[in-house]
Amino acid sequence: MSSNSPRQGPAFDEYAAAYDEALAQGLSVSGEDKSFFAKGRIAWLSDVLREIAVQPASVLDFGCGTGSSTPFLFDLMKISSLVGVDISAKSLEEARLVHGSPRSTFFLFNHYEPNQATDLAFCNGVFHHIPLKERAGAVDYVYRSLRPGGFFAFWENNPWNPGTRYVMSRIPFDRDAITLTPPESRALLRKGGFEVLRTDFIFIFPKMLSWFRGIEPMVAKWPFGAQYQVLCRKS
């Protein structure tokens, strides 16, 4: 991926120290903080994998940023090891400081060699920052990191949700992002060699309507949620 990507190098180094503050500025309209969404994504993924009797041991967090998903992947999914990769050296410094351990290591993209041995790849809100011409290469990077039969949990912001578009407009590093519709994401993943298993939409109701959240699993196939997950498998 080139140095011109808005998800890369100096652009995201600039936000590394104040990432949480910038993200909170956008998410405040939902009434929740980033931990609510980070935990919700991993809890959803864990439940989906449990349904198909899959228990990953190793995870690649693609575009890990400051590592905010790391504790939830360990606590909720009971994984054994995690590798986080990102383009922002300053974000990785923060990830190592807060989440680094013998079980969790963090690398620049070009310092990690895909090994075709990882059970599960996870990414959240990464691909809308990658230039269109470089997205296929990013999918290939993930594909080469996974073992045969490994899974890719691809999370993206749902541009069909007006609330999502509003939140992104409030976050400095999301304002100019090029979003992906669910069909575009599935097509990208299939072209990269993945078998698409399911698409789920979650985070429909803001905190003020939290009493309705219990019905979200029943309507997760409807494209209303603020985010969606495409779960796919390496052939």
Other Cβ atoms within 10 Å of 4 Cβ, number = 10
Q: Hey, what are 70's tokens? A: 């790391």
What CATH number did the domain enclosing 212 receive?
Answer: 3.40.50.150
1 belongs to a structural domain:
no
- Report CA dihedral (106, 138, 198, 24) to the nearest 10 degrees: 60
CA distance 98 to 201: 30
Cβ(207)–Cβ(31) under 8 Å? yes
Closest CA to 82 of 112, 105, 98, 63: 105
pTM exceeds 0.85: yes
What letter would DSSP give residue 26? H
pLDDT at 2: 34
Tokens of 52: 């198909």
- Whether residue 2 lies inside any domain: the answer is no
Distance CA 195, CA 64 (A): 23
Residue 42 lies in a domain: yes
| Confidence (pLDDT) at 208 | 75
pLDDT value for 25? 52
Domain that holds residue 30: 9-234
Q: What local confidence, expressed as pLDDT, does residue 158 receive?
A: 97
Helix axis angle for 9-16 and 89-99, nearest 10°, is 40
CA separation for the pair 105, 121 (Å, rounded)? 14
Structure token digits, residue 218: 């029943």
Q: Is residue 175 part of a domain?
A: yes
Instruction: Name the DSSP letter for residue 226.
Output: S
Give the relative orientation of helices 135-145 and 182-191 as an angle to the nearest 10 degrees. 60
State how many domains the chain has: 1
pLDDT (tens, 9 = 90+) of the chain, 235 residues, equals: 333 333 444 555 555 555 555 544 545 555 555 788 899 999 999 999 999 999 999 999 999 999 999 999 999 999 999 999 999 999 999 999 999 999 999 999 999 999 999 999 999 999 999 999 999 999 999 999 999 999 999 999 999 998 888 888 877 777 888 999 999 999 999 999 999 999 999 998 877 778 887 889 899 999 999 999 999 999 8
**Strand pairing class (58-62; 118-124):** parallel
pLDDT of residue 191: 98
207 token code pair = 């905190």
Return the pLDDT at 169.
Answer: 82
Does any domain span residue 217?
yes
